[in-house]
C-alpha cells in the first residue's frame, strides 16, 4: 500500500478502553475553515465484537498506533457517521480492503471513496446491540450510534461535542478563535456543525427522548455520567426544547 497518497498521520494519543471492548483515541485535525487555518483535536472510537473491530470517526494513526489497533483485533467495519468527517477513511479502506465502509445516503465522497453500506431504519448494523439516531433536518447527513449497554453509550460525530477545555492538539490561534466562538462548552452541539447544517428543533425533541448515560463524541472529552441530562439542558438552551 502506498500510504503517501493519503493525508499524513498527525500527532495523536493512545487507545483508552473506556468500557469493555469500547476504545477511544484523540488525535489532531488541520483544516482551512472560514478562511483561516485551524488545528484542533478530534476523536476516534473503536468497538470490538469478538475479534471484529468497527472504527467510528477515523483518525489516521502512525505505525505504532496502527500496530496497537491491530493488536485489538481485525478491522471489519469503517463507519462514517458525519458528513463533515471522513478525511482518513480512504487510508483505512486501502489498508483494510475487505472491511465494509458504512455511512448515510447522500454523504459526499472523500478522497475517492464513498460508503457502500448504509445505516437505515431496520437495516444491518456493523455490530450487535447498536441502534441509530438519524438527523432529519440537517443540510448534510449525520447520525449517532447508540450502544445498548452501560446505560446507553452514544457514539457521535459533530452534532454532540464535549470540549470543556482545549487540549495539547490545538494550536494557539485556533484555541483563541474557538474560545471566542463558544466551542469550549460542556455537552454542547458543534458550533461549526450548526452553522453548516442549520438543524431544527424537531431533531432535538426526538433526541431528548432517548436515554443514555455517556457520550463519546468526535470532538472533546468523553462524558461518562448523566450525559443525557447535560445534553438536554443544552438542547433547551440552543433550541428551546
Domains of the chain, start order: 9-118+128-239 (3.60.15.10)
Q: Is 14 helix (H, G, I), strand (E, B) or coil?
A: coil
Say how far apart CA 197 and CA 15 lie, in whole Å: 31
Please say whether the beta carbons of 54 and 127 come within 8 A.
Answer: yes
Instruction: Indicate the burial class of 121 (C-beta count within 10 angstroms; 0-12, 13-18, 19 or more).
Output: exposed
H-helix or E-strand containing 28?
strand 22-33
The pLDDT, as a whole number, for residue 25 is 98
The pLDDT, as a whole number, for residue 33 is 80
Q: What's the full length of the chain, in residues?
A: 241
The pLDDT, as a whole number, for residue 152 is 98
The pLDDT, as a whole number, for residue 1 is 63
Please say whether the beta carbons of 178 and 193 come within 8 A.
Answer: no
User: Along the chain (241 residues), what's the average pLDDT of each consecutive run of 10 residues?
Assistant: 84 98 98 87 98 98 98 98 97 97 95 93 93 97 97 98 97 95 97 97 98 98 98 98 96
Amino acid at each position: 500500500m502506498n500510504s503517501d497518497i493519503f493525508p499524513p498521520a498527525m500527532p495523536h494519543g493512545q487507545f483508552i478502553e473506556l468500557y469493555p471492548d469500547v476504545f477511544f483515541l484523540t488525535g489532531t485535525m488541520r483544516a482551512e475553515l472560514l478562511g483561516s487555518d485551524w488545528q484542533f483535536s478530534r476523536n476516534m472510537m473503536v468497538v470490538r465484537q469478538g475479534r471484529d473491530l468497527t472504527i467510528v470517526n477515523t483518525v489516521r494513526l502512525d505505525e505504532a498506533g496502527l500496530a496497537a489497533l491491530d493488536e485489538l483485533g481485525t478491522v471489519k467495519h469503517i463507519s462514517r457517521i458525519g458528513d463533515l468527517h471522513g478525511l482518513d477513511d480512504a487510508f483505512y479502506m486501502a489498508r483494510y480492503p475487505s472491511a465494509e465502509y458504512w455511512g448515510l445516503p447522500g454523504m459526499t465522497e472523500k478522497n475517492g471513496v464513498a460508503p457502500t453500506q448504509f445505516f437505515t431504519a431496520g437495516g444491518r448494523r456493523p455490530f450487535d446491540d447498536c441502534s441509530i439516531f438519524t438527523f432529519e433536518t440537517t443540510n448534510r447527513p449525520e447520525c449517532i450510534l447508540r450502544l445498548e449497554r452501560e446505560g446507553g453509550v452514544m457514539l457521535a460525530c459533530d452534532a454532540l461535542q464535549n470540549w470543556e477545555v482545549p487540549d495539547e492538539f490545538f494550536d494557539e490561534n485556533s484555541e483563541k478563535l474557538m474560545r471566542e466562538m463558544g466551542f469550549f462548552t460542556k455537552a454542547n452541539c458543534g458550533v461549526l456543525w450548526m452553522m453548516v447544517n442549520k438543524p431544527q428543533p424537531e431533531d432535538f425533541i426526538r433526541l431528548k427522548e432517548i436515554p443514555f448515560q455517556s457520550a463519546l463524541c468526535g470532538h472533546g472529552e468523553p462524558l461518562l455520567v448523566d450525559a443525557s441530562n447535560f445534553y438536554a439542558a443544552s438542547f433547551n438552551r440552543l433550541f428551546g426544547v
